[in-house]
A = this chain, B = another copy of it.
Amino acid sequence: MDFTLSIIYLIASITFVIGLKMLGHPETARRGNLVAAAGMTLAILGTIFLFDGEVSTKVYALIGIAIVIGTIIGWMVAKKVAMTKMPELVSMFNGMGGASAALIGLIEFPHYTGHPLQISVILAGMIIGSISFAGSIIAWSKLNGTMRKPIRLPKYNILNNVIILAIIAYAVYFVYSGSDNYLLVFAIFGAALLYGILFVIPIGGADMPVVISLLNSFTGLAAAFGGFLYDNMVMLTGGILVGSAGTILTFAMCKAMNRPLSNVIFGAFGGESATGESGSTTGGSIKKTNPSDTAILMNYANKVIIVPGYGLAVAQAQHVIHELEELLVSRGVEVKYAIHPVAGRMPGHMNVLLAESNVDYDRLSEMEDINPEFANTDVVLVVGANDVVNPAAHNDPSSPIYGMPILDVENAKTIIINKRSMKPGYAGIENELFFNQKTSMLFGDAKDALTKVLSELKNM
């Protein structure tokens, strides 16, 4: 292989590693992405322009056109897409990568019949690529809303296992037999696509990110097989890197959701749905969040309002919340406490509590003063409060708290609610705020949860 190209590939591999590393820290993430992109550009240009063999201009032109088309579409779509649609786009792009890998296998197959090793590599790449492609497309359409309900055929688990085993057995036979039957390859290709579809279809929309991450690492693997085939180091290393990092990421995501991976994938077959967890009776669906996301949101906010309630007192979390507030202030965030007149269980309960941890009196705002401020607040952190932020007081004349003035946290950009469960507060009524689009629930004892948020914040 050409020396310069080798070095270029080496550099590209290194940028991938470094880029990925940088992606793992909020401050460097953006630059990391650029680093990896630069390495990728270098590798692509090198591959095209430093190619050793004879290539007709026609082919060059085709390649050029393909790249231009891909670039324009990719760029436009990525730039235009709404923030909320990004995950599905990632899924789509992932599918493209898988398809690309599968196609390579399909094309290369005839050239290598008879070399069992190469054939196995080709088949592996093709199968994995196809699964990833088909799975991603399903994931995309689920996130997209095209396919709404998880579809469950009977005996799912068994069916799926049978298919994948069949594919593997068939591939092994194929390699050993040394067959060069192109049609059979297409059959395998088709079976893999089918498996991809069946794999994702029963999984609920809320678990899609995990699935995408898994398929992402599949595609990495497929790319690595390509690297094996061509003895191309950058494909190999890049693919393996994504394969391993993607796998770890998948586990990390499951952990953040507090569920084992098997539960995400196979749990689906058990008929249990992700939204079924919310434990709510109104049937609306809630979003859960975790300390680390909470920390990031607050760290990058301009204005945070904390709404303490009885739960803060029960958890005796006044010291932690004060520390949190101080840290945020030291990072340049504007922080206030919104004190509802009947928060807690006695008049002035919140005041006693916060005075104990030396919260500055000037940071406490009365309800009337703070209510207009929620509209320009980035994050509201509701800690162990419930009735005092319940919009039923405005909306529901039949509610026992109807007519009570409340803190209008609904107007803020993001609402994070920390409590232990979906149980109601003093008034014993449901709170529709928990089901608000803008609301995320941070479940857990206030002291525990805030301590975790605090330590995440410190690590930023």
Please give, as numbers and ranges, the residues of chain B lying within 8 Å of A358 by CB-CB distance. 316, 356
Please give, as numbers and ranges, the residues of chain B lying within 8 Å of A455 by CB-CB distance. 455, 458
* Residue A410 interfacial (CB < 8 Å): no
Interface residues in A, total, Cβ within 8 A: 11
- What is the minimal beta-carbon distance from A248 to any residue of chain B, in angstroms? 14
Q: Tell me the bound Cα distance from A276 to B358 in angstroms.
A: 41
- What is the minimal beta-carbon distance from A360 to any residue of chain B, in angstroms? 12
Which A196-250 residues have C-beta < 8 A from chain B? Answer: none
A356 nearest CB neighbor, chain B only: B356
* Residue A357 interfacial (CB < 8 Å): yes
* Residue A334 interfacial (CB < 8 Å): no
Give which listed residue, B319, B322, B451, B458, contacts A322 with CB less than 8 A. Answer: B319
Please give, as numbers and ranges, the residues of chain B lying within 8 Å of A458 by CB-CB distance. 451, 455
* Residue A430 interfacial (CB < 8 Å): no
Q: Tell me the bound Cα distance from A358 to B358 in angstroms.
A: 13
* Residue A368 interfacial (CB < 8 Å): no
Q: Tell me the bound Cα distance from A357 to B356 in angstroms.
A: 7
Please give, as numbers and ranges, the residues of chain B lying within 8 Å of A319 by CB-CB distance. 319, 322-323, 357
Q: Tell me the bound Cα distance from A97 to B357 in angstroms.
A: 57
Please give, as numbers and ranges, the residues of chain B lying within 8 Å of A316 by CB-CB distance. 358
Q: Tell me the bound Cα distance from A458 to B320 in angstroms.
A: 14
Please give, as numbers and ranges, the residues of chain B lying within 8 Å of A323 by CB-CB distance. 319-320
Encode A311-322 as 1/0 by CB contact (under 8 A) with B: 000001001101
- What is the minimal beta-carbon distance from A450 to any residue of chain B, in angstroms? 12
Q: Tell me the bound Cα distance from A458 to B459 in angstroms.
A: 12
Q: Tell me the bound Cα distance from A392 to B63 in angstroms.
A: 85
Listed residue (A319, A322, A323, A451) with the most chain B CB atoms within 10 angstroms of its CB: A319
Q: Tell me the bound Cα distance from A318 to B320 in angstroms.
A: 12
Please give, as numbers and ranges, the residues of chain B lying within 8 Å of A322 by CB-CB distance. 319
Q: Tell me the bound Cα distance from A316 to B323 in angstroms.
A: 12
- What is the minimal beta-carbon distance from A295 to any residue of chain B, in angstroms? 13
- What is the minimal beta-carbon distance from A42 to any residue of chain B, in angstroms? 25
Encode A154-183 as 1/0 by CB contact (under 8 A) with B: 000000000000000000000000000000
**Can you name 12 A-B residue pairings with CB atoms under 8 Å?**
A316-B358, A319-B319, A319-B322, A319-B323, A319-B357, A320-B323, A356-B356, A356-B358, A357-B357, A451-B458, A455-B455, A455-B458
Please give, as numbers and ranges, the residues of chain B lying within 8 Å of A357 by CB-CB distance. 319, 357
Q: Tell me the bound Cα distance from A322 to B320 in angstroms.
A: 11
Please give, as numbers and ranges, the residues of chain B lying within 8 Å of A320 by CB-CB distance. 323
In the complex, besides A319-B357, A451-B458, 10 extra interface pairs with C-beta distance below 8 angstroms are: A316-B358, A319-B319, A319-B322, A319-B323, A320-B323, A356-B356, A356-B358, A357-B357, A455-B455, A455-B458
Q: Tell me the bound Cα distance from A319 to B458 in angstroms.
A: 17
Q: Tell me the bound Cα distance from A356 to B451 in angstroms.
A: 19
Q: Tell me the bound Cα distance from A458 to B358 in angstroms.
A: 24
Which A329-367 residues have C-beta < 8 A from chain B? Answer: 356-358
Q: Tell me the bound Cα distance from A357 to B316 in angstroms.
A: 11
Q: Tell me the bound Cα distance from A257 to B357 in angstroms.
A: 34
- What is the minimal beta-carbon distance from A324 to any residue of chain B, in angstroms? 12
Which A38-53 residues have C-beta < 8 A from chain B? Answer: none
A323 nearest CB neighbor, chain B only: B319
Please give, as numbers and ranges, the residues of chain B lying within 8 Å of A356 by CB-CB distance. 356, 358
A458 nearest CB neighbor, chain B only: B455
Q: Tell me the bound Cα distance from A357 to B319 in angstroms.
A: 8
- What is the minimal beta-carbon distance from A292 to any residue of chain B, in angstroms? 14
- What is the minimal beta-carbon distance from A460 to any residue of chain B, in angstroms? 12
Q: Tell me the bound Cα distance from A356 to B458 in angstroms.
A: 24
Q: Tell me the bound Cα distance from A455 to B451 in angstroms.
A: 10
Encode A418-460 as 1/0 by CB contact (under 8 A) with B: 0000000000000000000000000000000001000100100
- What is the minimal beta-carbon distance from A101 to any residue of chain B, in angstroms? 27
A327 nearest CB neighbor, chain B only: B451
Q: Tell me the bound Cα distance from A319 to B320 in angstroms.
A: 9
A320 nearest CB neighbor, chain B only: B323
Q: Tell me the bound Cα distance from A322 to B356 in angstroms.
A: 14
Encode A74-101 as 1/0 by CB contact (under 8 A) with B: 0000000000000000000000000000
Q: Tell me the bound Cα distance from A62 to B31 in angstroms.
A: 57
A316 nearest CB neighbor, chain B only: B358
